[in-house]
Amino acid sequence: MRIAMITETFLPSTDGVVTRLCASIRWLRRQGHEVMVIAPDHGIKEFEGAIVAGIPAYNFFLYKEDRKFSFYSKKVKKYLKTFNPDLVHVVNPSFLGVTGIYYTKRLKLPLMASYHTHVPKYADYYNFSYMKPAMWTYFKTLHNRALLNLCTSQTVLEELQEKGFHNVHLWKRGVDTKRFHPDFYHEDMRKRLSGGKTDKTLLLFVGRLAAEKEIERVKPLLQQSDNFCLAIVGDGPNRETLEKEFAGTNTVFTGFLHGDELAEAYASADVFAFPSTTETLGLVLMEAMAAGLPVLAAKSGPTGEQIEAGRTGVLFDPADPEDLFRAAGQLKESEKRTKMGQLAHEDIQSVGWDESAAQLMDYYEETLRLHKDRP
């Protein structure tokens, strides 16, 4: 099959969407399928034998970091006509995806879409709450031009259905269980993450530093007890604000870590902190579990789907500041943390990327059938 993926973000960017796409492309290429990725142009021309076709990218006023987006471009039509795909998969349509949907329809190609980012929920964190109804209408309109839609958690699937999104299906989660593993523990990395305070309980956050991640929710733990320290791995528009917020606490900012360093960071911590309630899945949760970490997470639909409270981690009510201390108290004992981490590691071993990618191919074939059966 010849598959064109049109995505708002791709390499060298680092996030859950890019990780999932890369894993899927690897599997598709191993199965002999041809893939073209149409994405903002960041100089990448090829990935695992897949063509990466760049679209001119520009700064967007809502992003203060060095992240660029692509908007309307006739190059999308050119790439689609040249590649002549059997199917087009529009990933997280927002800006470039609009062009992709338009030209896919003009060329009468089968169209599938996937929903990965709860953009309307972000409005509450950027003083755009009044725009949420319009944003939901916008994304619903885009996704309903596709024959089939995917999302990454049951909670989000039900929410999208309630909002009027058509033909929504669950795309199974996946994680690289070989890349993330307890065996990657490294004493030097633990010293780096803890600022040399290796005897303390080391909390780890991994992700983009943005308002919707609500990393500040962890701060009271550091203020109440000197037993905790926090490593914040990642970068983003909120980094300077967070550095001021956490000044005077046992907190280390590392910036982005990749490859072996990221694997070592997960394996060298004690607890993974996940304070956000805006995620559609939270790939970093699974990476942490694969590395043998118990999770301290804010209650939400997606976290409840992945964490068995009291067994592989603990959940706290984000609306109740005192509940954070109750939850953290369950992770006070080293032996209990270790046991939870072991169970988390064991539970996640059955969640690899191959099954997720194979399921994606099944959805591609279903999309082709739907296209063929259209009047």
pLDDT in tens, 185-233: 999 999 999 999 999 999 999 999 999 999 999 999 999 989 999 999 9
Q: Name which of 346, 285, 360, 355 is nearest 315 in CA terms.
A: 285
Q: Name which of 356, 351, 207 is nearest 286 in CA terms.
A: 351
- CA 198 to chain centroid, in Å, comes to 29
d(CA 212, CA 323): 20
Residue 68 DSSP SS3: strand
What pLDDT shows up at residue 272?
98
d(CA 18, CA 375): 35
Question: pLDDT-based confidence at 128, cuts 50/70/90?
Answer: confident
Domains, the chain, with CATH or none: 2-174+352-373 (3.40.50.2000), 182-348 (3.40.50.2000)
Q: Per-residue pLDDT tens for 155-194?
A: 999 999 999 999 999 999 999 999 999 999 999 999 999 9
Residue 68 has pLDDT above 70, yes or no: yes
Residue 62 has pLDDT above 60, yes or no: no
Residues 6+ apart with CB under 8 A from 371: 87, 110, 147
Residue 265 near residue 291 (C-beta atoms within 8 A): no
- CA 263 to chain centroid, in Å, comes to 17
What pLDDT shows up at residue 67?
60
pTM: predicted TM-score of the whole model, two decimal places: 0.94
Helix ranges (H only) for the chain are: 16-30, 75-83, 96-106, 119-122, 132-143, 154-162, 187-194, 219-224, 239-245, 259-268, 283-290, 301-306, 321-329, 334-348, 353-373
What pLDDT shows up at residue 153?
96
Consecutive H or E run containing 134: helix 132-143
Read off the DSSP letter of residue 27.
H
- CA–CA–CA angle 197, 198, 204 (5° rounding): 95
